[in-house]
């Protein structure tokens, strides 16, 4: 058709115009003609007749100046090839398709009813019950899942140590919480862990089985770094009777006792019920303020961030190489960045004070522990920069 209209037959201009008009006429009116012819054969109305206004006596046709009857299937005479229709059958109605006014919006099923979780946790139901109890949602520190393990249980000396995963860089150096029994029947909790449902249940079970008094419960917040106090508010809700002892003003908003000033003043600021079983000193630099504590009945020294013992278990090839270059691999020592800016006079007082304590093992909050019998020697070597 394009070739004909384009003039490949050498038609004149008026001839090509007439030919174009013919093709437009056929394309516009041929579908209507076919529809009317098909409807007349099958005895059904056309779309144009359905849209035409109905009248009882007929409708006027202004173009012809007369009237004509409205189309009705009852008056239509069936042709010889048309199937006769019984008088009892209802008249045929042309099905008008109902189109979606918003075709770009797919039909959506009603949203599923949300699963109601138990008050114990608000985690998604895709997590199984055991894993749900090991997750502390408010925590911003990796990893999110924090299973709790009872690392040390020394009932005779009144010492229990729990630990959770704590990823520092690419290495899991652990994070530990120590429960120390006091002579008055209470307990002191050094460096609270993330308050997962599992950890809360384990501590409650320990308090109940050992008959520890909640009226003499103490939370010792040893450092200003967040892993040691991020869940302190939750622990206060679980044990509202407990009181808090901290070393940093940042945590003083939820602490009853704040150890201020230099290390020599810390023992006199320690609450009186704790002085019989505990002794404290403060390690302070521009980056760190830490409570170093000893539990006299178990002869144990507790440090948070001022002492690390990096060995093969708590390192990979990269961190092992770095710590070997710094000379701090496989030995208990203070990290170099926690030595910067320390007052030498106060550091020496701290060293002399802790050296006189009677301990033989060291429980660190991170990395490896110093086993029994080597604690005092490891401290004298690792904190030698203070002497």
Residue 235 lies in a domain: yes
Residue 137 lies in a domain: no
Residue 343 lies in a domain: yes
CB-CB contact of 368 with 314 (8 Å): yes
Q: Are 286 and 162 within one domain?
A: yes
pLDDT value at position 184? 94
Model pLDDT for residues 377-386, shown as the tens digit of each residue: 999 999 988 8
Of the two residues 172 and 105, the one the predictor is more confident about is 172
Q: Are 27 and 161 within one domain?
A: no
Range of the domain at 266: 142-386
pLDDT value at position 290? 92
* Phi, psi angle pair for 375, to nearest 5°: -65, -50
| pLDDT band, residue 69 (cuts 50/70/90) | very low
User: Is the pLDDT at 254 greater than 90, yes or no?
Assistant: no
**Which CATH number fits the domain that encloses residue 275?**
3.60.15.10
Q: Are 31 and 166 within one domain?
A: no
Q: Are 326 and 196 within one domain?
A: yes
Q: Are 194 and 309 within one domain?
A: yes
pLDDT value at position 58? 45
pLDDT value at position 100? 52
Q: Are 190 and 291 within one domain?
A: yes
Q: Which two tokens stand for residue 117?
A: 């979780």
Range among 14-23, 34-43, 362-371 with highest mean pLDDT value: 362-371
Q: Which of 51, 66, 86 is the last residue of a domain?
A: 51
Of the two residues 176 and 82, the one the predictor is more confident about is 176
Q: Poorest-confidence range of 103-117, 276-290, 346-360?
A: 103-117
pLDDT value at position 20? 64
Q: Are 194 and 294 within one domain?
A: yes
Residue 354 lies in a domain: yes
User: Is the pLDDT at 297 greater than 80, yes or no?
Assistant: yes
Tally of domains within the chain: 2
Residue 247 lies in a domain: yes
Residue 133 lies in a domain: no
Residue 379 lies in a domain: yes
Q: Are 22 and 161 within one domain?
A: no
pLDDT value at position 134? 87
Residue 102 lies in a domain: no
In the predicted model, what is the mean pLDDT of the chain?
A: 76
Q: Are 309 and 172 within one domain?
A: yes
pLDDT value at position 82? 46
pLDDT value at position 299? 95
72/74 Cα distance (integer angstroms): 5
Task: Give the number of other Cβ atoms within 10 Å of residue 87's Cβ.
Answer: 5
Q: Are 12 and 147 within one domain?
A: no
Mean pLDDT throughout 73-98? 50
| pLDDT band, residue 326 (cuts 50/70/90) | confident
Of the two residues 14 and 80, the one the predictor is more confident about is 14
Model pLDDT for residues 140-150, shown as the tens digit of each residue: 788 888 999 99
Mean pLDDT throughout 204-224? 94
Considering the entire predicted model, what is its pTM? 0.66
Of the two residues 237 and 115, the one the predictor is more confident about is 237
């Amino acid at each position: 058709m394009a070739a004909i209209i384009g003039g490949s037959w050498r038609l004149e201009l008026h001839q090509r115009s007439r030919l174009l008009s013919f093709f437009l006429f056929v394309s516009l009116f041929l579908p209507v003609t076919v529809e009317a012819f098909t409807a007349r054969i099958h005895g059904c109305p056309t779309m144009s007749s359905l849209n035409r206004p109905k009248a009882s006596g007929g409708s006027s046709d202004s173009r012809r100046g007369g009237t004509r009857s409205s189309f009705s299937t009852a008056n239509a005479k069936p042709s010889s090839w048309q199937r006769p229709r019984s008088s009892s059958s209802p008249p045929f109605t042309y099905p008008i398709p109902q189109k979606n006014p918003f075709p770009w919006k797919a039909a959506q099923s009603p949203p599923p009813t949300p699963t109601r979780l138990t008050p114990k946790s608000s985690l998604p139901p895709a997590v199984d019950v055991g894993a749900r109890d090991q997750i502390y949602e408010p925590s911003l520190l990796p990893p999110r899942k924090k299973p709790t393990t009872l690392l040390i249980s020394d009932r005779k000396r009144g010492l229990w140590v729990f630990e959770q995963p704590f990823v520092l860089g690419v290495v899991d150096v652990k994070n530990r919480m120590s429960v120390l029994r006091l002579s008055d029947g209470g307990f002191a909790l050094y460096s609270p862990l993330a308050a997962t449902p599992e950890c809360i249940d384990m501590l409650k079970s320990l308090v109940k089985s050992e008959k520890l008094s909640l009226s003499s419960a103490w939370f010792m917040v040893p450092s200003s770094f967040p892993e040691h106090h991020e869940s302190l508010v939750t622990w206060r809700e679980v044990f509202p009777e407990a009181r808090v002892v901290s070393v940093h003003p940042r945590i003083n908003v939820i602490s009853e006792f704040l150890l201020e000033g230099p290390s020599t003043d810390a023992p006199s600021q320690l609450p009186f019920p704790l002085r019989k079983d505990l002794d404290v000193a403060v390690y302070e630099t521009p980056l760190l303020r830490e409570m170093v504590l000893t539990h006299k009945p178990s002869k144990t020294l507790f440090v948070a961030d001022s002492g690390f013992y990096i060995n093969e278990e708590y390192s990979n090839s990269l961190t092992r190489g770095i710590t070997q270059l710094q000379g701090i691999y496989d030995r208990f020592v203070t990290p170099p960045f926690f030595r910067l800016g320390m007052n030498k006079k106060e550091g020496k007082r701290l060293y002399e004070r802790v050296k006189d304590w009677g301990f033989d093992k060291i429980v660190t909050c991170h990395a490896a522990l110093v086993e029994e019998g080597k604690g005092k020697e490891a401290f004298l070597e690792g904190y030698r920069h203070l002497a």
